[in-house]
Amino acid sequence: MKIHCVLLLLAGVCATPTSAKAQLSNSTPRASQLAAETTEAWAPTPEVKSAEQIDKEWQESTAKFDGRRNALLKLADEQAHDGP
């Protein structure tokens, strides 16, 4: 049992990235470093589309079904009010 624990611990140490080892060996990061890391994590991604762009693409791609969808909605509305 002890051998398994030692092997797992050793595997974890060996698998630690070198940057993480460097951070562990350094003293605590300065406040400016922490602030820079925090702002970079929340920075917008240039490849991501805005909500407006996604909505416009969706409307354009489904526009060809508007006529049939409106006909079905009208039929459903009539049957909801007038019965079958």
In this prediction the pTM is 0.36
pLDDT-derived band at 49, boundaries 50, 70, 90: confident
Residue 2 domain-assigned (yes or no): no
Q: Which structural domain range is residue 63 located in?
A: 51-84
Average pLDDT for residues 76-80, to the nearest whole number? 92
Quick: pLDDT tens for 52-71: 999 999 999 999 999 999 99
pLDDT above 60 for 31:
yes
Q: Is residue 84 part of a domain?
A: yes
Q: How far apart are CA 22 and CA 27, in angstroms?
A: 10
Q: Is 29 left (phi over 0), alpha (psi -120 to 50) or beta?
A: beta
Amino acid identity for residue 31 in this structure: A
- Within-domain flag for 82: yes
Mean pLDDT across the chain: 74
Rounded to whole angstroms, the Cα distance separating 39 from 47 reads 18
Q: Is residue 62 part of a domain?
A: yes
